[in-house]
Amino acid sequence: MHIVDDSEVNRVLSFPVLIEAIEAAHRRPKIAVHDGYLGDDKGQQLVTRSAVDAGRFMMTKLYTSFPGNLAHGKLPVQAVCVLFDGNDGRPLAVMDAAEITHWKTAADSALGAKHLARPDAETLLVVGAGEMARWLVRGHRTVRPRLKRVRVWNRTVERAQELAALLEGDGIAAEAVTDLDAATREADIITTCTRSREPLVKGANLKPGTHLDLVGGFTPETRESDDEAARRSRIFVDRRESAFDGVGDILQPIASGAITESDVLGDHYDLASGKVAGRLSDSDITFFKNAGGGHLDLMTCETVLAQLGKELR
């Protein structure tokens, strides 16, 4: 059995390899998923996120959430993934899941952009300057290499400036912006990763051809774009079951009557198989909700194991 730490995950993975692997996995039968939660009224939780790719692999991601850790300089979320053989149940690997989460989240959004964003996209707007933001930039630039400008908006301007400086250090032309509405009007791709409970991206500001990638909202109360953004867009999600299970950017515009469930046109399974067309014209506004799920962790763990296996041949 392999014990794989974060440094090994980062050493063997690349976005071209992972995005291709996740897309291929979505052409196979759907992976079964199940989540479990145990905790207390202080928000301290143990979460199990399990996935079964029948006859191939089984995986459980276990993570703890201790929000109070931040006050003591400790990580609020810590996790491991355990991967099993799907034929005989043998444990194959235990992997440190912090970087697994970063890789799979950014690759999920990048695959959405591969199918939905215009090939000639040049300007990327990043809304939110947290830990995931730099990963999302890397993922989007992998599938849309013509992206040459990155603009960063964050409620705290200093955080946006820090991220822009890091991206500049990576050789990416980046700048912090303070006018979100103006930056929205100029962007070809917008990726958001916040915990906002109020819409940040206004649909009225989206220019024809924009691709909107919503990553941060993960509860019914959190939301990153308004009803008009949904109303104007061709809407896709990473997995229908995840998106309709408590995600505000999908459930709230349905509840308000701005859209209906049938306006969610497809997910990665539909797009990867060609069952549903993504962008129909250069002027389409496309909307992708990254809701995540244990199936993506399994796909990423499988890819790590395959890359490690190549090294041992």
- 274 within 8 A of 200, measured Cβ to Cβ: no
- What is the DSSP code string of 81-147? EEEEETTT--EEEEEEHHHHHHHHHHHHHHHHHHHHS-TT--EEEEE--SHHHHHHHHHHHHH-TT-
Long-range contacts of 178-186 (CB under 8 A, 24+ apart): 178/153, 180/127, 180/153, 181/205, 183/125, 183/151, 183/153, 184/125, 186/123, 186/125, 186/151
pLDDT value for 249: 97
In whole angstroms, how far apart are CA 131 and each of 23, 102, 138, 163? 24, 9, 13, 9
Instruction: Residue 167: count other Cβ atoms within 10 Å of its Cβ.
Output: 21
Give the integer Cα–Cα distance in Å for 162 and 44: 30
Give the integer Cα–Cα distance in Å for 40 and 64: 12
Overall CATH class of domain 2-101+295-312: alpha beta
pLDDT value for 312: 61
- For the record, the structure tokens of 301 come out as 């763990």
Give the integer Cα–Cα distance in Å for 126 and 109: 13
Domain boundary assignment for the chain: 2-101+295-312, 115-292
57-65, strands of its sheet edge to edge: 2-4, 91-96, 77-85, 57-65, 45-53, 32-39
Instruction: Residue 13: count other Cβ atoms within 10 Å of its Cβ.
Output: 21
pLDDT value for 281: 97
Block means of pLDDT (10 residues each) for the chain, 313 residues, are: 95 98 97 93 89 98 88 88 97 96 97 98 97 97 97 97 97 97 98 96 98 94 97 98 91 97 97 96 98 97 94 61
pLDDT value for 13: 97
Helices 131-143 and 15-25: crossing angle in degrees, nearest 10, is: 80
Overall CATH class of domain 115-292: alpha beta
- For the record, the structure tokens of 32 come out as 């079964």
